[in-house]
Amino acid sequence: MKTISKISFNDIENIPQLIKDFLNHKIEGFEENTFSLEHFRKQIHLKQESFTSEQRVVLSTALEQQLSGLTLSKKQRENLNNIKLPDTFTITTGHQLNLFSGPVFFCV
């Protein structure tokens, strides 16, 4: 029979204490930047207020230029066009994104 053990994130020695403190809401000023649906909604709202339609056009144009040598599907073209819309957001995740520029996901 196979035994399954769970190790608390806080008990993993290789995780820096700073990251553990961040995820445990122990760093003043960053309590609302951890993972939750409510924090995600707030981040979307902040980005919606701060990312202008002109910036969306610049982003869309840059992506279209970068992808110009590829054959894109109808859905991919639709997604590129949707970036110009005020209610469209992208989410970028990764293991080495800047921890203190917002939640560990980025919304555009």
Q: Which residues contact 88 (CB under 8 A, 6 or more apart)?
A: 82
Indicate the pTM of the whole model: 0.56
Domain-wise residue ranges, the chain: 16-25+34-107
Q: Cα-flanking dihedrals φ and ψ of residue 2, to 5°?
A: -85, 135
Mean pLDDT across the stretch 76-84? Answer: 92
Show the beta-strand stretches assigned E in 1-108: 91-92, 106-107
Q: Express as a percent the part of the chain with pLDDT over 70.
A: 84
pLDDT band at 35 (very low <50, low <70, confident <90, very high): confident
| pLDDT tens, residue by residue, 8-28 | 888 888 888 888 888 888 888
